[in-house]
Structure formats: structure tokens, C-alpha cells
Amino acid sequence: MPQPSPKPALRPFLAADGPVLAAIFVAAIEELTGDDYGEAQQEAWASAADDEEAFGRRLAGELTLIATLQNSPVGFASLKGKDHIDMLYVHPDAAGQGVASALCEALEKLAGARGATSLTVDASDNAQGFFAKRGYVARQRNSVTVNGEWLANTTMQKNLKDSAAPGVQP
Ligand SMILES: CC(C)(COP(=O)(O)OP(=O)(O)OC[C@H]1O[C@@H](n2cnc3c(N)ncnc32)[C@H](O)[C@@H]1OP(=O)(O)O)[C@@H](O)C(=O)NCCC(=O)NCCS
């Protein structure tokens, strides 16, 4: 009988995590986004991690959580300010095991604790289904230039009060 996947553990970002998170970022883009973006677009997107130090500084400047399986980082997510998900990336080897769900749920709680009443994300085309499943609603279609390439994404929003547990007063 197949064993259920172990639940990921979550911990805060540490300065030494920059390179491993840069590698997860690149692998997730290369292996999980090919149905929606061309090779040149993927390369331009992934180039944000070329400078690992700058990439680490960006994550350190936000509220970044790391998901681990057997103590190894397999995904990460970051909250910019109190109400915007900046990044959410899961290593392809750990995809489909609830890693992004655990990260997103934690960010939603932290955003609520920071006083946010709703949360936004500029969702990539491949992540739109994931966010829709979590109750995010598409608000606006965007085209952004990244390293000379145009990439489409969709601003999505979730009302955090909708996700309060039954009986809990907001
Ligand atoms: C999108 C991404 C973060 C999802 O990570 P994941 O850990 O595989 O997601 P989960 O296992 O937590 O999935 C939770 C649910 O969403 C569904 N889901 C996941 N990806 C989905 C997708 N692309 N479309 C539709 N549903 C999706 C899963 O089937 C699962 O449903 P279930 O609960 O009924 O089984 C991952 O595919 C990724 O890193 N993509 C590339 C980077 C990217 O685009 N990041 C987003 C930037 S905004």
C-alpha cells in the first residue's frame, strides 16, 4: 500500500539558505513551467537568481519561509509587506505533495497576523490553478518585461476573512 507523503516542516529563512533557494527557484522554473512559457521566457525568469547574493538579499528583506522534508529545503515562499505573496517555488522532485499548500497557508496566517484583510499575488500562468483552488480570484492580467522577455501573469486576490475558521470572529 502506498505510504502518504510526509508533511513538510516550515522554518524561517537564514542567510546561508540563499544558494539552495536559488537552485530550487531555477529548477522549478525549468521543470514546472514549460507548458505555459517558452524557453527564452523561462531563462529570463530564472536569471533573477543568477546573482545568488542579491537573490538572498531579496528574500532576507521579506518574510520568507522554507519548507523542508527530512531537513532538506524543498520549497519556499515570501511575503512582501503585509499583503503580497512575492515568491512561491517548489522543487520539481517535491511537487504535488502539498508543499506549496503548507507554505501558502502559513503566509496567509502571518499576513492576517500583520493586519492584512486580503492577500494578492501576481500568479504565473502555471500557478493560477493552484491559487484558484485556494480561493484566490483573478483581478487583472499583466505583461511584464523580465530581462528583455515579455511574461504574462495574473494578479489574484484572496479575502482573508473568508478563510476564518467557523465560529472565529474576525
Ligand atoms: C505552483 C507550485 C508552487 C505548486 O507547488 P506544489 O507543492 O506542487 O503544490 P501542492 O502540492 O501544494 O498542490 C496543492 C493543490 O493544488 C493543485 N495544484 C498544484 N499545482 C497546480 C496547477 N499548476 N494547476 C492546478 N492545480 C494545481 C494540486 O493538484 C493540489 O490539489 P489537491 O489538494 O486536490 O491534491 C509549483 O508547481 C511551482 O513551483 N511552480 C513553478 C514556479 C511558479 O510558477 N511559482 C508561482 C509564482 S507566483
Instruction: Kindly give the distance from the C-alpha atom of residue 100 to the centroid of ligand 1, in angstroms, as a whole number.
Output: 6
- For the chain, the domains span 9-92+99-162
- For ligand 1, atom 17, the nearest C-alpha belongs to 130
90 lines ligand 1 (CB under 6 A): yes
User: Does the pLDDT at position 170 exceed 70?
Assistant: no
User: Does the pLDDT at position 147 exceed 50?
Assistant: yes
CATH superfamily of 9-92+99-162: Gcn5-related N-acetyltransferase (GNAT) (3.40.630.30)
Instruction: Kindly give the distance from the C-alpha atom of residue 121 to the centroid of ligand 1, in angstroms, as a whole number.
Output: 14
42-73, pLDDT tens digit by residue? 999 999 999 999 999 999 999 999 999 999 99
- Which atom of ligand 1 is closest in space to residue 122's alpha carbon? 48
Q: Dihedral angle at the C-alpha atoms of 79, 28, 141, 35, nearest 10 degrees?
A: -160
Alpha carbon of 25 to those of 29, 56, 94, 108, 146: distances in Å?
6, 12, 13, 21, 15
The mean pLDDT value for 69-81 works out to: 97
- Which of 69, 22, 30, 18 has its CA nearest to residue 48? 22
DSSP-derived pairing of the beta strands 72-80 and 63-69: antiparallel
Instruction: Kindly give the distance from the C-alpha atom of residue 51 to the centroid of ligand 1, in angstroms, as a whole number.
Output: 26
Q: What DSSP character marks residue 52?
A: H
The mean pLDDT value for 36-43 works out to: 98
- Mean of the per-residue pLDDT values for the chain? 93
Confidence of residue 163 (pLDDT cuts 50, 70, 90): low
The mean pLDDT value for 21-47 works out to: 98
Extract the C-alpha cell encoding 69.
Answer: 522534508
